[in-house]
Amino acid sequence: MVIDFYKYQGTGNDFVMIDNRSLFFPKDDVALIERLCDRRFGIGADGLILLENDKDTDFRMVYYNSDGNESSMCGNGGRCLVAFAKQLNVIDKTTTFIATDGLHHATVGANGLVSLQMIDVDKLTITPEYTFLNTGSPHHVQIVNDLEHYNVKEKGAAIRYSELYGKAGSNINFVSQINEDTFAVRTYERGVEDETLACGTGVTAVAIAMNATGVTSAKALHLNVEGGKLEVSFDKLGSQYTNVFLKGPAQFVFKGQIEI
């Protein structure tokens, strides 16, 4: 069977997009999804996303990591899927869709920027060494020195597979502060098992963690990632972070066909 696919990227976080509203795609074929994401033997991507029908919202997001397994929420993937839905004429400029972590609202700007509402956060584990929280996916946030030369893959894997997070593991974010409202972030992603050029749920976690630990009082932050720049804003009501929005570019790269 030959299928149509679309390739999107958001600050270098890249995804294979498939219109699965007819439910033709073999969703349980882990090896197939892994092959499609393979950068040498397939299309190449950090993950694969299916757009499906949903009876209560505009569409459903089904996300797989590049290892072929269905995973938790992906922020940049969600933003790219919104852009994909617009390309398919499923939506216009605003949308509501369902993902594994619940309901999401999003808007598409005239300049191609997609703003995606993330889940509320009210539970953080704060220690002197790191902060842990879930922004749709689990994230470890840690400030480090000399981030530019930090061995993210080696250090990230060591924490991801440590007893701290057990079998499920966590995404690992390393951070350095540039100024009051700007931070540089590099992320090791579980499921990809390597550093990615950006991570949407990761920068969201970093922004909230930096505010929660008093590193910054800003509620609208700029996050510089390896693949570009993202923005995160939120409101803080007591210990709860609400109206959390992730904003950045979501760009169509190319479309094609592949035999599966």
* Residue 154 to residue 198: CA distance in whole angstroms: 17
Residue 195 among known ligand-binding residues: no
Residue 213 among known ligand-binding residues: no
Residue 21 among known ligand-binding residues: no
* Residue 142 to residue 103: CA distance in whole angstroms: 29
The answer for residues whose C-beta is within 8 angstroms of residue 156's C-beta and 6 or more apart is 172, 174, 187, 188, 195
Residue 76 among known ligand-binding residues: yes
Residue 179 among known ligand-binding residues: no
* Residue 124 to residue 14: CA distance in whole angstroms: 29
- HEC letters along 89-132: CCCCCEEEEEECCEEEEEEECCCCEEEEECCCECCEEECCCCEE
Residue 201 among known ligand-binding residues: yes
Catalytic-role residue among 16, 48, 51, 74? 74
Q: Known catalytic residue: 199?
A: yes
Residue 171 among known ligand-binding residues: yes
* Residue 215 to residue 38: CA distance in whole angstroms: 39
Catalytic-role residue among 157, 199, 221, 230? 199
Q: Known catalytic residue: 37?
A: no
CA pseudo-torsion sign 218, 224, 225, 227: positive
H or E element: which one contains 54? none
Residues of each annotated binding site for substrate: 13, 65, 75-76, 171, 189-190, 200-201
Residues of each annotated binding site: 13, 65, 75-76, 171, 189-190, 200-201
Catalytic center residues: 74, 199
